[in-house]
Structure 1
């Protein structure tokens, strides 16, 4: 499917057409602030629930579905096929790697605000589990898609010792304003496990997180300070409320 043409979620016809960063349906006249990209994959042991949750219905034109055999293929196809303004629905947080790569190629300096209960900063050498979904933020940094100066990690509370060392060595913290300063555009990576358990069904809940209202305020702050070029929502378990997910995407301007 071309990212320029997508199925309208309202009238269900394949007549939503990309117009600059918006989609407009030629049949019913509806407009949408982003194109939906589904990534029904989870790169780790036992992640089938996350993969299934990527099929959650959201009221955005479906512009692209990426379901490939390797993470390398997934990231390459995502980076090349992103609509102008994507809303990526994973799967695990590895879906963000290709999205960040693709958007970084379009902008001189891309900031990343990563909202997650976990750091996702491990490498194959430091990971206790070996699951790739514990590594995607580090992947995006190490491949040069985003600078550490332009990264904020918000809500992390379950970090492995090597991740804590990496954060300290590179001065990565929760300061959204710092990460956005000087950036041409921002990508928001939202793993719903950042939220207090029970807010939205998540694959790997961690106690002590912010409420939906608090995360919404953070997203509104990001949108007020920077141009949000795209957003990804990952880490879902089946049963997530599409209304809540849409509300959070809307707070980021999508």
Structure 2
């Protein structure tokens, strides 16, 4: 991986149904992410946060696509920033914010890596469309949008679509899928490791299969890590917690194996909600996972 990392924060919670994840980038910085990565041998530049409007200043025009205009604008800016970071020869590390920011991150990355892979750690599929979404929250739609399914304003960010291919995606840790998402996954042949598979064959086997599946057929892999993939007992401060998730140690093992695979081209960590957290515990776990993904070792 590049030894030069550029951090960009996206304090967006307009895509979610619960306030608080807009403070995620600040919580992660407070947990010393820059210092931790520098101690691991990286040169880190922090660009600060993108501007994000507060929900109180806008109204919901379409309940099936809440805050569409605002989410689109933020993701357009993020896509352009990520694109520039890669052009500078640096590694983009994006701090969320809700998971709708993946629309912009993936758009920016795929403009340079047209055959990119995606490892998506999440309790949810995030592969709804406006027609299948039970909430209208756009943080449940970024994978579908990146595959070219959804509202044209989101699908066509950076003026091309789709950004990724279904056969280049692996979802890990899923345990709460909507009916429309299950049908989408089956129809498009997307590889998913639910908690059933993790419990049954173990995280090491899941990661071995994932790395083998993606490494040789893609031109690099984007890591999208929603902290709600972890069990709420380990990570209580997340936007949409679901019981029975990935353990703290399983998460670190997964990141360590990703570091060993040496194929990451970009990463984002999202849905840290300090309002629901205990003494910034979830943000500290996020930073620890980032360090493991970037190759930090005990010895």
Shorter chain as denominator, the TM-score bin is 0.7 to 0.9
Determine if the alignment matches structure 1 residue 51 to structure 2 residue 22: yes
Q: Does structure 2 conserve the Cα–Cα contact (< 8 Å) formed by 1:150 and 1:180?
A: no
- For 1:128, what is the secondary structure of its paired residue? coil
Give the total of aligned pairs.
225
User: Aligned equivalents of 1:205 and 1:193: distance in 2?
Assistant: 5
Q: How far off is 1:125 after superposition?
A: 0.8
User: Aligned equivalents of 2:286 and 2:16: distance in 1?
Assistant: 25
User: Aligned equivalents of 1:108 and 1:137: distance in 2?
Assistant: 16
Q: How far off is 1:170 after superposition?
A: 1.5
1:1-40 mapped onto 2 (5 Å cutoff): 21-23=2-4, 34-40=5-11
Cα distance change of structure 1 residues 108 and 123 upon mapping to structure 2, 3 Å threshold? closer
User: Which residue among 97, 114, 120 is the counterpart of 1:114?
Assistant: 120
Is there any run of 5+ residues in structure 2 with no aligned partner, and where?
Answer: 35-44, 54-69, 149-160, 194-208
Is there any run of 5+ residues in structure 1 with no aligned partner, and where?
Answer: 1-19, 24-33
What is residue 60 of structure 2 aligned with on the other side?
none
User: Aligned equivalents of 2:165 and 2:257: distance in 1?
Assistant: 21
How large is the Cα RMSD of the aligned pairs? 2.0
Task: Report the TM-score, using the length of structure 1 for normalisation.
Answer: 0.82
Q: How far off is 1:114 after superposition?
A: 0.5
Q: Does structure 2 conserve the Cα–Cα contact (< 8 Å) formed by 1:68 and 1:74?
A: yes
What is residue 187 of structure 2 aligned with on the other side?
169
Of 209-218 and 112-121, deviating more is: 209-218
Q: How far off is 1:43 after superposition?
A: 2.6
What is residue 183 of structure 1 aligned with on the other side?
218
Q: Does structure 2 conserve the Cα–Cα contact (< 8 Å) formed by 1:184 and 1:226?
A: no
Q: Does structure 1 conserve the Cα–Cα contact (< 8 Å) formed by 2:114 and 2:164?
A: no
User: Aligned equivalents of 2:139 and 2:184: distance in 1?
Assistant: 17
Determine if the alignment matches structure 1 residue 202 to structure 2 residue 243: no
- 1:50-100 superposed Cα distances (whole Å, 9 cap, x missing partner): 112222214323224222451222222111112321111111001111111
Larger RCO of the pair (alpha carbons < 8 Å, separation 6+): 2
Of 116-125 and 51-60, deviating more is: 51-60
Cα distance change of structure 1 residues 45 and 94 upon mapping to structure 2, 3 Å threshold? closer
- 1:190-221 superposed Cα distances (whole Å, 9 cap, x missing partner): 10000011212212110111112101211222
Q: How far off is 1:179 after superposition?
A: 3.5
What is residue 42 of structure 1 aligned with on the other side?
13
What is residue 249 of structure 1 aligned with on the other side?
290
Q: How far off is 1:158 after superposition?
A: 0.4
Cα distance change of structure 1 residues 179 and 162 upon mapping to structure 2, 3 Å threshold? farther
Q: Does structure 1 conserve the Cα–Cα contact (< 8 Å) formed by 2:9 and 2:49?
A: yes
1:60-209 mapped onto 2 (5 Å cutoff): 60=34, 61-69=45-53, 70-82=70-82, 83=85, 84-142=90-148, 143-173=161-191, 174=193, 176-177=210-211, 178-200=213-235, 201-209=237-245
Cα distance change of structure 1 residues 91 and 45 upon mapping to structure 2, 3 Å threshold? closer
What is residue 206 of structure 2 aligned with on the other side?
none
Cα distance change of structure 1 residues 141 and 41 upon mapping to structure 2, 3 Å threshold? same
More helix by share: 2
User: Aligned equivalents of 1:226 and 1:170: distance in 2?
Assistant: 27
- For 1:55, what is the secondary structure of its paired residue? helix
Q: Does structure 2 conserve the Cα–Cα contact (< 8 Å) formed by 1:188 and 1:228?
A: yes
